[in-house]
Structure 1
Amino acid sequence: MALRPKLLTALALAALLAACATSPPRAGLYAQFGGQAGVEALVEEFLVRLLEDERINAQFADTDLVNLNDRLVEQFCVELGGPCTYTGRDMAQSHAGLGITEADFNALVEDLVEAMEARGIPRSAQNRLLARLAPMHADIVSP
């Protein structure tokens, strides 16, 4: 009798494992962006576009670009569900007193979308990242 529950448990486990093996894996958002290497490449592409964008590049003239790069990699990694920790200041602190306008914000988003397109990131994955970043708008744009 003691063998019967163990046999049933083993059969249930085998059935569960078989079901998992036949189900197509669903790539996480972090994986869709190429993991750590993909996030780093995206941030590099994004920063190049920001610095070339005459609409907003003056906003970054006195910025520590190495620090900005590192914090963006962390932030994107966290937002994508990756194994990272964001160590930067919150968005309200980071952007306080900078006078960022709606037009500035929209230009930055356009640059990010162009960087994601250039990296070949699927549109659905792009939209998921943008949806996660969108709530930061209120802390970035000056009233």
Structure 2
Amino acid sequence: MKKLLTAACLMMGLALSPVLAMADEPVTLYSQLGGKESIRTVMDDFVQRLKQDERIGDQFKFTNADRLAGLLTEQVCEATGGPCTYSGRDMKSSHAGMVITKAHFNALVEVLVDSLNAAKVPFALQTDILALLAPMHRDIITER
């Protein structure tokens, strides 16, 4: 709608009013990623790649792929400023009792980057996503 109004105003030689400019929603990482559907597409791809990865696929062997992709979608959606609320367990209790090393975590990040690249997510957005998710490593890595 704003693009149409902008074009009409420009054609008539008018400037946009400050009120119209303020009506815009803030640009969030969530909106830059294309919203929940786009995030879900990336998470579906990510989970499939995780299950197939030689380094960490064993850890996802019996994981319900659809459920995991859904929870990851909620988590990324919420973390990037979207309207979602993460409904899963916290990272510490989710990974308790598992043997997860820094190498496992790094492999997971590499797989995520592969999925982001496959979805043609720009590098700058990828770094923003990784920066948001990186602090979770403290609660995910169980073997130091």
Question: Is the TM value for this pair above 0.5?
Answer: yes
Work out the CA distance in 1 between the residues paired with 2:53 and 2:89. Answer: 25
What is the TM-score normalised by the length of structure 2? Answer: 0.81
Aligned to 1:106: 106
Aligned to 2:90: 90
Work out the CA distance in 1 between the residues paired with 2:44 and 2:61. Answer: 17
| CA deviation string 1:4-58 (max 9, x = no partner) | xxxxxxxxxx85337x38xx99742112211111011010111121112111000
* Unmatched tracts of structure 1, length 5 or more: 1-13
What is the TM-score normalised by the length of structure 1? Answer: 0.81
Q: Which amino acid aligns with 2:93?
A: Q
Structure index of larger Rg? 1
SS in 1 for 2:88: coil
Work out the CA distance in 1 between the residues paired with 2:71 and 2:63. Answer: 12
Q: Which amino acid aligns with 2:112?
A: L
Q: Residues 51 and 60 of structure 2 are in contact (CA less than 8 Å); yes or no, is this contact kept in structure 1?
A: yes
| CA deviation string 1:87-127 (max 9, x = no partner) | 00000000011010111100000000110011011111111
Q: Residues 55 and 107 of structure 1 are in contact (CA less than 8 Å); yes or no, is this contact kept in structure 2?
A: yes
The share of aligned pairs that are identical, in percent, is 45
Aligned to 1:71: 71
Instruction: State the structure with bigger RCO (CA 8 A, min sep 6), 1 or 2.
Output: 1
Aligned to 2:44: 44
* Unmatched tracts of structure 2, length 5 or more: 1-15
Q: Which is helix-richer, 1 or 2?
A: 1
Q: For this pair of structures, how many residues does the alignment match?
A: 127
Q: Residues 44 and 66 of structure 2 are in contact (CA less than 8 Å); yes or no, is this contact kept in structure 1?
A: no
Q: 1:26 to 1:123 in 2, by over 3 A?
A: farther
CA root-mean-square deviation: 2.0
Q: 1:43 to 1:16 in 2, by over 3 A?
A: same
Q: 1:134 to 1:48 in 2, by over 3 A?
A: same
After TM superposition, give the deviation of residue 66 of structure 1 in Å. Answer: 2.4
SS in 2 for 1:86: coil
Q: Residues 40 and 73 of structure 1 are in contact (CA less than 8 Å); yes or no, is this contact kept in structure 2?
A: yes
Aligned to 2:19: 17
Work out the CA distance in 2 between the residues paired with 1:128 and 1:29. Answer: 8
